[in-house]
Amino acid sequence: MNTILKSKITDKCAWVGKDIATQSDWIYQLSPHMLNVLDQGLKSLEQQNLIAPNFEKHDVLIDDAEFLAQIEYISNELENGYGFIVIRGLDAEKYTESQLANIYYLMGLHIGNAVTQNARGDLIGYVENIGDKTQKMTRVYETNDYLPYHSDLSDVVGLLSIRKAKQGGLSSIVSFSSVYNRILEQYPEYLGYYYHPSWYDHLGEVNPSLTPIFSYFDGKLACRYLRYYIELGHDRKNVPLSQVQMDALNIFDEISHAPDLRLDMMLEPGDIQFCNNYCVMHSRSSFEDYDEVEKRRKLLRLWLQMPNARQLAKDFPGRNGIPKGLGQAT
């Protein structure tokens, strides 16, 4: 049987933060040619009075061979490389916020298909500190609080930085494969618990459903994790987590937060980060923001369904978007 991977992952996706922090191969610098193609696409959108996300890929026909080859490179890196990429080169001072959104969404549509992020059917999420912390329904991403490590309900998540905070707000990512490797090395007796389905309170579903944290299928490890929704799912199903399950989750959290595993970065205005949700967990440190709303930290989020996404096991169902009318986004 090969449903449980029992050997160390040595692929590129099993990166260790301290080892690649000084490298630049996870940074993609937009070339003058790529920027020119995107500028032409922006011009076409403006001529048609189209504003993201209210346009489709076919509204701007880009048949430039070099552009399409680079998009393929980015997509392949997300699935078969590190599992994340940071794209730099957009001059945030050159464009308005609406123009940045148009360029970002246009690029996203060429990488994958945008899927809905909440019950309203939003295809672009606004990550900004405008929420009321006293209200139960306020999501963490709408505040300046620490955002725990998690993966989102899509193949890929993208973030475009519009403005930085006054202080703090580091983006932090960690490789699922490296977390797996360390569990295998230090706590192999717990490995089976991560493959056993847990009740998740998946956003976009009326009732909790079963999903494992780890799933090994067709030669690749896929992962899904957000502890709060596991605990909430078990609470709603009235199925308490056992002590050994709690121990397993504590081990997972402890390893995920290991300083040597994680990679921290400041997303400067104009930077774009894409992460494969089956390969990488993402987080954000707390931050101090400006008093003026127009100066506060702001990022635009995309959830993408990828044409080259890995095959998933039947007991690890894919999640691409939240159906309109149900749930809320994390």
Instruction: Map tokens 């599992």 to a residue.
Output: 83
The pLDDT of residue 36 is above 60: yes
Backbone angles phi, psi at 287, to 5 degrees: -155, 160
Q: What dotted CATH number matches 25-305?
A: 3.60.130.10
According to the model, what pLDDT value does residue 142 have? Answer: 55
On the CB side of 115, how many CA atoms lie within 13 Å of its CA? 20
Q: CA–CA distance from 54 to each of 57, 62, 278 (Å)?
A: 10, 18, 28
Locate 193 and state its tokens. 């618990």
For the stretch 197-243, pLDDT in tens is: 999 998 767 899 999 999 999 999 999 999 999 999 999 999 999 99
Q: How far is CA 132 from CA 33, 88, 112, 145, 296, in A?
A: 43, 32, 33, 12, 15
Ordered by start, the domain boundaries in the chain are 25-305
**What pTM was estimated for this model as a whole?**
0.93
pLDDT tens-place string over residues 8-17: 999 999 999 9
* Residue 291 phi, psi (nearest 5): -70, -40
Q: For helices 97-111 and 65-80, what crossing angle results, to 10°?
A: 70
Cα 144 to Cα 117, 139, 151, 283: the distances in Å are 20, 11, 19, 12
CA separation for the pair 68, 54 (Å, rounded):
22
- The mean pLDDT of 289-315, rounded to a whole number, is 93
| Nearest-angstrom CA–CA distance, 274 and 157 | 6
pLDDT score of 66 more than 60:
yes
The mean pLDDT value for 293-308 works out to 94
Of these ranges, 114-123, 177-186, 290-299, the one predicted with the greatest mean pLDDT is 177-186
Of 224, 236, 235, the C-alpha closest to 197 is 224
121-138 CB burial, b ≥16 within 10 A, e <16:
ebbbbebbbebeeeeeee
User: Length of the chain in residues, anyone?
Assistant: 330
Question: In the prediction, which pLDDT does 143 show?
Answer: 65
> Which strand (E) or helix (H) includes residue 184?
helix 176-186
Cα–Cα–Cα angle for 308, 311, 313, rounded to 5 degrees: 160
The SS3 assignment for 322 reads coil
The H or E element spanning position 115 is: none
Helix axes 32-47, 97-111, angle to 10 degrees: 110
Whether the bond into 53 is cis, omega within 30 of 0: yes
Residue with tokens 């996404």: 309
The answer to whether residues 124 and 302 touch, using CB atoms and an 8 Å cutoff, is yes
Of the candidate ranges 123-137, 175-189, 268-282, the one whose mean pLDDT is the lowest: 123-137
Name the burial class of residue 264, with classes exposed (0-12), middle (13-18) and buried (19+) by CB atoms within 10 angstroms of its CB. middle
- Supply φ then ψ for residue 170, to 5 degrees: -65, 140
> Percentage of the chain surpassing pLDDT 90?
80
- State the maximum Cα–Cα separation within the chain, in Å, rounded to a whole number: 61
Q: Confidence band (pLDDT; 50, 70, 90) for 162? A: very high
pLDDT band at 308 (very low <50, low <70, confident <90, very high): very high
List pLDDT tens digits, range 82-93: 999 999 999 999
Structure tokens at 227: 């502890």
